[in-house]
Amino acid sequence: MPTLFRFVIILLFLTLLAFGSMFALTIFVEPQQKEETIRVPMRDIFDKN
């Protein structure tokens, strides 16, 4: 029984660590936005294949 309890506690700790790191990423990291232009050749637009 102590081994099972220790396993559950370790899983709980790892889960809280993962959620904590995801939460910290959403708070402290700001995504950079940029405009992107992709040129599509006309033959690719009208290709019937």
Q: Note the pTM of the prediction, 2 decimals.
A: 0.56
Helix ranges (DSSP H) in the chain: 2-28, 42-45
CA distance 41 to 46: 9
CA distance 32 to 16: 28
* Distances 8 to 13, 20, 42 between C-alpha atoms, Å: 9, 18, 59
Q: What pLDDT score was predicted for residue 43?
A: 79
Q: What pLDDT score was predicted for residue 20?
A: 97
pLDDT in tens, 1-49: 789 999 999 999 999 999 999 999 999 999 899 999 999 888 777 766 5
